[in-house]
Chains A and B, each alone.
Chain A
Amino acid sequence: MVMPNAQRVIVVGGGLAGLAATVRIAEQGLPVDLFSMVPVKRSHSVCAQGGINACNEVARQQGYSEYQHFDETIYGGDYLADQGPVLEMANWAPRVIDLLDRMGVPFNRTSEGRRDLRLFGGSLFKRTHFSGATTGQQLLYALDEQTRRYEAQGEVTKYESWEFLAPIMAGEGDDRRCVGIVAQDMRTMQIRSFRADAVIMATGGCGLVYGKSTNSVICTGGAASRCYQAGAWYANGEMIQVHPTAIPGADKCRLMSESARGEGGRVWVPRKQGDDRKPSDIPEGERWYFLEEKYPKYGNLVPRDIATREIFDVCVNQHMGVDGENQVYLDLTHMDPEYLTRKLGGILEIYEKFVGDDPRFTPMRIFPTVHYSMGGLWTQHTPGSYRPDTQHGDHQPGWQAPIGTEPGMGMQVGAPNNMMTNIKGLYAFGEVNFAYHGATRLGANALLSCIFDGLFCGQGVARYVKEHEPAEKPSTAMEASLFDSAASAEQTKADNLLATVGKGKESPETNPYVIGRELGEEMTAACTVVKTGERLGTCTSKLAELRERFERVRLGDAATWTNQSLSYTRSVGDMILLAQVIAKGSLERQESRGSHYRLDFPDRDDSRFLKTTIVEYHQGDADEHRLSWGDVDTSLVKPRPRTYGKVDAKADTKPDKEAEPASTT
């Protein structure tokens, strides 16, 4: 007999999304097994700096609303996100902030003791809550603490230093569902299966596909790729965010938060090409504040894809970079150093530690780098109660929102399919799904989407487990052979990789680290700021070459104990497949939208491409990564041109009043 409490949920990944889900589900009385490659307190969410967006009382009295937060997110994402989930997220944002506040997050405070706010990209209202310049760290720690509380009570079991290898599926056709995972202990190298009635992937992004990015070393996208190879669909893979301001480095590129600009930081280069004076010796009139000049309204706070393209254009096309290099100034030196320390201490310290200059007194030198994946595992949801007869156009501040903020307007509360992949019982939360950010993510919306997923959609997972298939046929009652064979398949793959040690001659051709580096260089060159059909064609061939070489890969370590080379090499194979998906979407989307810019198709083309790219894996087929186009739900906000009031330098056109979202003035 199966006891009701034999039901379990597995969460893979211990960042904000995974921990929020863990706490929410444990709270519903379901035991959770939490898997992470690192102690969860060291997850990549710790790197998030700037803040978390939510409508608040001050902004509200200036005419802002949850609805406008929603509108900004949709406009920022160039209409590619389904609108229901985004509406629900924006509506919940103030409640998410309140909850984090109750958990003890040390948000920056005003003199009256209330939560302080800052300006962020894509908005003219202060709606970003923050904790110094290490907001992600502080939010992660709060959720880590709550998770530890449940762990101490025995309701959460952590499997830290365990790597997810594959989902386990039972049944065929409509009955096919996820009933567990195979994982490997990264210390003992033991591979085993774990049963669960639902599995939540909260494994973050795939920055390592690009070699150097702002991501942590664990963000390979390997887990997402393994789900993709097991039949989960991957959507909008081509939508990769390149962050405008990072410090290039030998091992990675370190993020310099958008909050530096939110607090008043200005981006500029000398007006005279090759001007080699010290920045402080260059008078105001001889500095080119190109973002402020081109975007008088948003200035330095245009969305990231736009800032990135402008910086790229100034450096790469116009050769106006500082000292003739690919770098521009991000300048805070006009501001009070004490104020900067209080608001931005964490990131200023990073710059000082890794570059050696103090940004309070010397302008920082920065350049764009890969930062975030808007695309990810395709997920579904149950639409909320609000279904308009007509779409709404420009929303202005102070206008009454056409929709209330009651729970369930955008996405149904507790629906079991919220953020479920195309595979029943397999969910994707946080950065690893494609749901909230369309073609560009606005700054300070990532932390929100991760925590919102965990809390809001975690509820649906609990309902799925308690009321749907798992209630009838729990995974604990299934044949052991199903789980054993899944584990032994992964064991065989690992053994095969180990067997390559010492086989043949050492050569860069088959060295996993060399293959990984070439992959990163190729993807950075072909699939980031500016893409062309021709270059993507070359990229496709290069990826095929890397894949062929990977078939012959030669591992450098035969250890059966703590073999990091095995783990890395396995992920290189998975990254190549994911890179192929990203390149495929980039090639097929013959338009420019948000972060995806095609030089050969520079305009947005709603008639053909206001669609989601959905890629499905068919191993061994000629068309292995099969791409189809999914409809996008634009039922609430009508698409309008996304110009952010750009002033055309050539013509004397005024900022396009109709085209931009609402402003305070």
Chain B
Amino acid sequence: MTTQASSAPVVKAAKTRTIRVRIKRCDGPAKAQRWETFKVPVGAGANVISVLQTIGANPVTVDGTPTTPVVWDSGCLEEVCGACTMVINGKTRQSCSCLMDVFCPNEGDEITLEPMSKFPIIRDLWVDRSRLFDSLKRVKAWVPIDGTYDLGAGPTEGPKQSELRYTLSTCMSCGCCLEACPQFNLETDEREWDTAFIGAHAISQARLFNDHGTGKQLKGDRLDALMGEGGVSDCGNAQNCVKVCPKEIPLTESIAAMGRATTFHAIARWFQSND
């Protein structure tokens, strides 16, 4: 039987062609970056992933020099895990959903791949996004449940509320909002993470959990974290985050909501301290 291989119904512009792929490469931390260009044959349905796979099987640059397979991060290849984020033609996005039929429809078209610049490079296009996950600890992005034994259902909530939380909860920690943010900078020293700008994704996660019946038990802690150095007031309102978010999460609304909440929280705290 021939299942998928012969059947691809996928994309319209189906002609086979050769494209040029420019890749910013780097052998490891503290090593110099360099450009390499490859000529790659592509057919219908090709994306950056299949292009990098083709290069990997036969890594020879456009001038005939043998090189190593390109290192990059990937996972689900259907834009739901967030792994394969990189900078393509100058814009941050997932590489799996970057289709060659759209980006390089004609013979000789060129595409440029670079690693994200706001995270330390591991090798080539693979960067270390640990800081992104670390900031989820900073805002206690979880519901403080009483353990995993059966204690009945959680709080009920209306469909509107659950739809909003669902939208916020589709954040796949890809880092696009951070790459595009003028206030968020590369920070290799872990000790600086707690005071550097936390970024839109974590502010939005704080909103997600503050809006949950049980999650709001930690509301005060989250707002304390967002009021400190590197918190919500560091946002410069460039609004780049919301433009690049692949899941169309209303990040600027989240930032505004958390901005208001921290203000109320500060006032409430001031009254408490003056009792």
Binding site for B on A (CB under 8 A): 20, 23-24, 27, 38-39, 41-44, 46-47, 95, 98-99, 101-104, 106-114, 131-132, 134, 137-138, 141-142, 145-146, 148-149, 151-152, 160, 187, 212, 216-218, 242, 246-255, 312, 316, 322-323, 325-327, 342, 346, 350, 353-356, 365, 367-369, 455, 511, 513-514, 517, 521, 524-525, 528-530, 556-559, 561-562, 564-565
Q: Identify whether the interface residues of B are mostly helix, strand, loop, or mixed.
A: loop
- Given A350-B79, A369-B3, A109-B159 contact (CB < 8 Å): yes
Contact of A529 among B3, B133, B141 (CB under 8 A): B3
Residues of B within 8 A of A365 (CB): 9
Asked if B158 and A113 sit within 8 Å, CB to CB, the answer is yes
Asked if B6 and A326 sit within 8 Å, CB to CB, the answer is yes
Q: Which of B128-180 contact A (CB under 8 A)?
A: 128-130, 133, 136-137, 140-145, 147-148, 150-154, 156-159, 161-163, 165-166, 169-170, 172-173
* B122 at interface, CB cutoff 8 A: yes
Residues of B within 8 A of A113 (CB): 156-159
Asked if B137 and A152 sit within 8 Å, CB to CB, the answer is yes
Q: Which of B14-42 contact A (CB under 8 A)?
A: 27-28, 42
* B215 at interface, CB cutoff 8 A: yes
Give the complex CA separation of A556 and B71 in angstroms: 12
Asked if B82 and A42 sit within 8 Å, CB to CB, the answer is yes
- Given A104-B212, A145-B143, A557-B69, A247-B1 contact (CB < 8 Å): no
Give the complex CA separation of A255 and B78 in angstroms: 9
- Given A103-B154, A148-B142, A565-B68, A111-B7 contact (CB < 8 Å): no
Asked if B80 and A101 sit within 8 Å, CB to CB, the answer is no
* B46 at interface, CB cutoff 8 A: yes
Asked if B77 and A217 sit within 8 Å, CB to CB, the answer is yes
* B44 at interface, CB cutoff 8 A: yes
28 A-B residue pairs with CB within 8 Å: A20-B148, A39-B83, A39-B173, A47-B76, A99-B148, A104-B212, A134-B170, A137-B80, A138-B169, A141-B169, A145-B141, A148-B142, A151-B137, A212-B4, A248-B45, A249-B4, A326-B2, A350-B79, A350-B80, A354-B99, A367-B3, A511-B58, A513-B53, A517-B57, A525-B1, A528-B1, A556-B68, A564-B69
Residues of A within 8 A of B99 (CB): 354
Contact of A253 among B4, B53, B133 (CB under 8 A): B4
* B250 at interface, CB cutoff 8 A: no
Min CB–CB distance A396 → chain B (angstroms): 28
Interface pairs A-B: 6 shortest CB-CB: A326-B7, A513-B57, A101-B154, A145-B142, A562-B123, A102-B154
**Least CB separation from B13: chain A residue:** A356
Give the complex CA separation of A254 and B81 in angstroms: 13
Min CB–CB distance A171 → chain B (angstroms): 32
Give the complex CA separation of A565 and B52 in angstroms: 13
Give the complex CA separation of A218 and B84 in angstroms: 13
**Least CB separation from B96: chain A residue:** A251
Give 5 A-B pairs besides A250-B50, A354-B97 with Cβ atoms closer than 8 angstroms.
A43-B81, A99-B150, A251-B47, A322-B9, A346-B170
Min CB–CB distance B44 → chain A (angstroms): 7
**Least CB separation from A40: chain B residue:** B133
Asked if B153 and A98 sit within 8 Å, CB to CB, the answer is yes
Residues of A within 8 A of B11 (CB): 355-356
* B209 at interface, CB cutoff 8 A: yes
Residues of B within 8 A of A114 (CB): 156
**Least CB separation from B160: chain A residue:** A109
Residues of A within 8 A of B142 (CB): 104, 145-146, 148-149
Asked if A248 and B4 sit within 8 Å, CB to CB, the answer is yes
Interface size of B as a range: 35 or more
Residues of A within 8 A of B147 (CB): 27
Give the complex CA separation of A437 and B62 in angstroms: 50
Residues of A within 8 A of B145 (CB): 99, 102-103, 146
Give the complex CA separation of A98 and B153 in angstroms: 4
Give the complex CA separation of A455 and B7 in angstroms: 41
Residues of B within 8 A of A112 (CB): 156
Binding site for A on B (CB under 8 A): 1-12, 27-28, 42-47, 49-50, 53, 56-59, 68-69, 71, 74-83, 96-97, 99, 122-123, 126, 128-130, 133, 136-137, 140-145, 147-148, 150-154, 156-159, 161-163, 165-166, 169-170, 172-173, 209, 212, 214-215
- Given A95-B150, A107-B162, A559-B27 contact (CB < 8 Å): yes
Asked if B137 and A148 sit within 8 Å, CB to CB, the answer is yes
Give the complex CA separation of A438 and B71 in angstroms: 38
**Least CB separation from A253: chain B residue:** B4
Give the complex CA separation of A316 and B81 in angstroms: 34
Choose among A247, A249, A316 the residue with the greatest number of B CB atoms under 10 Å from its CB.
Answer: A249
Give the complex CA separation of A557 and B57 in angstroms: 11
Give the complex CA separation of A110 and B8 in angstroms: 38
- Given A113-B158, A559-B27, A562-B123, A513-B56 contact (CB < 8 Å): yes
Give the complex CA separation of A242 and B3 in angstroms: 10
Give the complex CA separation of A511 and B66 in angstroms: 14
Residues of A within 8 A of B75 (CB): 38, 42, 44, 46, 216-218
Residues of B within 8 A of A247 (CB): 10
Residues of A within 8 A of B159 (CB): 108-111, 113
Residues of B within 8 A of A252 (CB): 49, 77-78
Asked if A27 and B148 sit within 8 Å, CB to CB, the answer is yes
Give the complex CA separation of A251 and B53 in angstroms: 8
Residues of A within 8 A of B58 (CB): 511
Asked if A47 and B4 sit within 8 Å, CB to CB, the answer is no
- Given A24-B148, A247-B10, A564-B69, A354-B154 contact (CB < 8 Å): no
Contact of B76 among A44, A369, A529, A561 (CB under 8 A): A44
